[in-house]
A and B are shown apart, each in its own frame.
Chain A
C-alpha cells in the first residue's frame, strides 16, 4: 500500500486524466446487459429509418382473400392482419411512428422541463414557488390519466398525441432538474464564481449546466419506455395515430378481435412495444450505473 501510493501519484502526474466521460463509456462498455440493450435499440432505430428498404411488401396493400393468415405462411413470414396486409412489413414500418411518438415527447420535455427546473432551482424565491407549484398541479394527475384527458379532449391525431405526452413529461423532468440545481447552487464554487463577478447566465452555462444535465438526462432516458408504452396506448385507445397508418399500438387495437382466429399474429405488435420498452429501460439503467447516479 505504502509503496503503491507514490507510484499512483507519479502516474497521475504523467498521464493526462482520461476525464469523466471516458470513464462513463468504459464502465458502460463493460456492462453486457446495457450493451445488448444498446445493440437492440440501434437495430430498432435502423429498422425504422430504413423501413421502406427492408420491408418485403407494401404495408398498406390489403387483400380480402388473404386475411389473417398464420405465422409461417409462404410469402408472409409473420402472417397477415385483419385486412390481409403483410404483418412483417407493417411491424417494420410501425416502428417509425411508434418510436417517433414515444421518443419525441421525452426529447422535447427534456428541454422544456430542464429550462423550467434549472430556472426555478437557480433563481429560487418567488420564481421557484410559482413555477414549482404550477408543476405540482400537473403532478397531481396520474400520468396515464393526464395523457388521456388531454388527448381525449384534443381529439385523435399524431400532433395532439405528441402534445399531450410532452405536457405529461415536462413536470417530472422539471422537478428533478429543480432538485438537482438547488443542490448544486449551494456548492461553494458557485458562491466563488458569483463573488468574482460572473453573471447569472455565465454561472448557469459554465458551472451549473455541466453538473445537472447528466442526472436530468439519465432520468429522461428512463421515461422513454413509459412514453413508448403510453404513446402506443393512446393509439390503442383510438387516440394518437389514426388508421391505416402502421403503428404498433393501433395495430394491436385493430387486431384485438382477431385473437380468436390468429391469436399469436394479433399479439405481435405488443411484443415489439415490449422489446423496445425493455431495451430503453435496460439502457437507462446501464447509463445510470455507468454515470454513478443514485436513483
Chain B
C-alpha cells in the first residue's frame, strides 16, 4: 500500500511541474508584450524599461520561471492589475465560495445520479432504464449555462421564488448558513449538479449491469439470497468506482464553474476568472488557473489513493 502511494506521489511531481510551466507560459502566449497589461499604452520608454526590470521580464525565460516558482511557493501570486490587491487574497474568499457550490452540486448529482443509474442498471432494458438513460443523456448534453438561464427565467423571473444572482442580499459578501443566503445557493447548485448527475448515472448503470452479469451474482441467487442481499453485494462492488468518479467530477466542477458562476454572478473563482478575462488582468488569470489546476492534480492523487484503499484490485500505475 505504502509503496503504491509513494509511486503515485512520484508520478504526480512531473505532472505538477508541467502544469506550473503551462500556467507560467499563459502570460507569455498572450499577444504583445506582457508589460502592456501592466502599463498604460502611452507609457514612456524609460518607464517601460524600469517596469520591465522590476517585473523581471528582461531576464531569460527559465530564470523568470524559477523566480516565479519561488514566489508562488511562498504564497505570492502577484498583484491584480484591476484592483491592485494581491491575487492570493482575492482568491482566498472566492475559492471558499466555489468549493461550497461545487461540493453541494456534487452531492446532489451523486445522490440522484447513482439512484437513476442503479435503477436503470438493475432493471436493464426496461422502460425505467430507457427513461433513466434519456435523462442522463440530457444531463451530459445540455449547455449548463443555458439551463441556469432557463431556471432563472422560471424560478426568478416568472415565479419569483428564488433570487436570480449573487450570494446574499444586497450584494453582501459575507456568507451565513441561514435561509436568506441558502436561497441564493439553490439555483446555481441545482444547475451545476446536472453535469455530474448524468455522468454518474451512466457510470453506475454500466457498473451495476456488469456486476449483475457476473457469475458470483448467479451464485448468490442460487444460494437462495434474496434481492436485497444481492443488492448489498452490488453496492459494495460498485461503490469504489462510483466514488472515484464523484471525486473527479468535483474537480471538473471546481475548474469548470466559470460559466455557471457567470450566469448567477456567484462570487467564486469562476467569477474572478470572468473578471480577469474581461479586464485582461493576466496575473489574476494566471493565479486563479494555477490554483484550480493544482487543486485538480491533488484531488486526482487523493482519489486514486482512496480508491486503491477501498478496492485493492485497482492499483492504477
Check B259 against A237 for contact (C-beta < 8 Å).
yes
Of residues 133 through 190 on chain B, the ones whose CB sits less than 8 Å from some CB of chain A are 137-138, 140-147, 149-150, 152-153, 157-158
Check B157 against A259 for contact (C-beta < 8 Å).
yes
Contact with A along B175-215 (1 / 0, CB 8 A): 00000000000000000000000000000001000000000
> Does B229 belong to the interface (CB within 8 Å)?
no
Check B142 against A274 for contact (C-beta < 8 Å).
yes
> Does A148 belong to the interface (CB within 8 Å)?
yes
Given the known inter-chain contacts A140-B15, A263-B158, please indicate yes or no for A154 contacting B258, CB distance below 8 A: no
Check A259 against B149 for contact (C-beta < 8 Å).
yes
Check B143 against A137 for contact (C-beta < 8 Å).
no
Q: Which A residue's beta carbon lies closest to that of B252?
A: A142
Segment at the interface with A among B85-93, B109-117, B234-242, B292-300: B292-300
Of residues 16 through 48 on chain B, the ones whose CB sits less than 8 Å from some CB of chain A are 16, 18-19, 21-23, 26-27, 29-31
Contact of B18 among A136, A270, A271 (CB under 8 A): A136
Check A273 against B278 for contact (C-beta < 8 Å).
no
Tell me, in angstroms, the Cα distance from A253 to B233 when the chains sit together.
48
Given the known inter-chain contacts A142-B254, A153-B30, A252-B149, please indicate yes or no for A233 contacting B143, CB distance below 8 A: yes
Tell me which residues across on chain B come within 8 A of A137, comparing CB atoms: 14-15, 18-19, 21-22
> Does B277 belong to the interface (CB within 8 Å)?
yes
> Does B246 belong to the interface (CB within 8 Å)?
no
Contact with B along A169-202 (1 / 0, CB 8 A): 0000000000000000000000000000000000
Given the known inter-chain contacts A140-B293, A145-B293, A239-B277, please indicate yes or no for A154 contacting B143, CB distance below 8 A: no
Tell me, in angstroms, the Cα distance from A229 to B297 when the chains sit together.
24
Tell me which residues across on chain A come within 8 A of B95, comparing CB atoms: none
> Does A77 belong to the interface (CB within 8 Å)?
no
Check A144 against B143 for contact (C-beta < 8 Å).
no
How many chain A residues touch B (CB < 8 A): the figure is 46
Tell me, in angstroms, the Cα distance from A269 to B150 when the chains sit together.
12
Check A256 against B149 for contact (C-beta < 8 Å).
yes
Check A145 against B289 for contact (C-beta < 8 Å).
yes
How many chain B residues touch A (CB < 8 A): the figure is 53
Check B137 against A282 for contact (C-beta < 8 Å).
yes
Tell me which residues across on chain B come within 8 A of A142, comparing CB atoms: 251-252, 254-256, 292-293, 296
Q: How far in angstroms is the closest Cβ of chain A from B157?
A: 5
Tell me, in angstroms, the Cα distance from A154 to B252 when the chains sit together.
22
Q: How far in angstroms is the closest Cβ of chain B from A253?
A: 9
Tell me which residues across on chain A come within 8 A of B137, comparing CB atoms: 278, 281-282, 285
Check B145 against A233 for contact (C-beta < 8 Å).
yes
Check B22 against A138 for contact (C-beta < 8 Å).
yes
Tell me which residues across on chain B come within 8 A of A259, comparing CB atoms: 149, 152-153, 157
Q: Which A residue's beta carbon lies closest to that of B156?
A: A259
Given the known inter-chain contacts A237-B258, A281-B140, please indicate yes or no for A152 contacting B145, CB distance below 8 A: no
> Does B305 belong to the interface (CB within 8 Å)?
no
Check B255 against A274 for contact (C-beta < 8 Å).
no
Check A153 against B142 for contact (C-beta < 8 Å).
no
Q: How far in angstroms is the closest Cβ of chain B from A141?
A: 5
Check B252 against A270 for contact (C-beta < 8 Å).
no
Q: How far in angstroms is the closest Cβ of chain A from B34?
A: 10
Check B251 against A274 for contact (C-beta < 8 Å).
no
Given the known inter-chain contacts A142-B252, A149-B289, A260-B157, please indicate yes or no for A236 contacting B19, CB distance below 8 A: no
Tell me which residues across on chain B come within 8 A of A271, comparing CB atoms: 146
Check B157 against A278 for contact (C-beta < 8 Å).
no
> Does A267 belong to the interface (CB within 8 Å)?
yes
Tell me, in angstroms, the Cα distance from A235 to B33 when the chains sit together.
25
Residues of B at the A interface (CB closer than 8 Å) are 14-16, 18-19, 21-23, 26-27, 29-31, 137-138, 140-147, 149-150, 152-153, 157-158, 206, 251-252, 254-256, 258-259, 262-263, 273-274, 276-278, 280, 282, 285, 289, 292-293, 296-297, 300
- Known contacts A144-B252, A225-B141, A259-B152; 5 further A-B pairs (Cβ under 8 A): A142-B256, A150-B29, A267-B146, A282-B137, A295-B206
The 5 closest A-B pairs by CB, nearest first: A270-B146, A137-B18, A142-B255, A144-B256, A145-B255
A-B contact pairs, 8 of them (CB 8 A): A133-B14, A133-B15, A152-B285, A154-B29, A155-B280, A274-B146, A277-B141, A278-B137
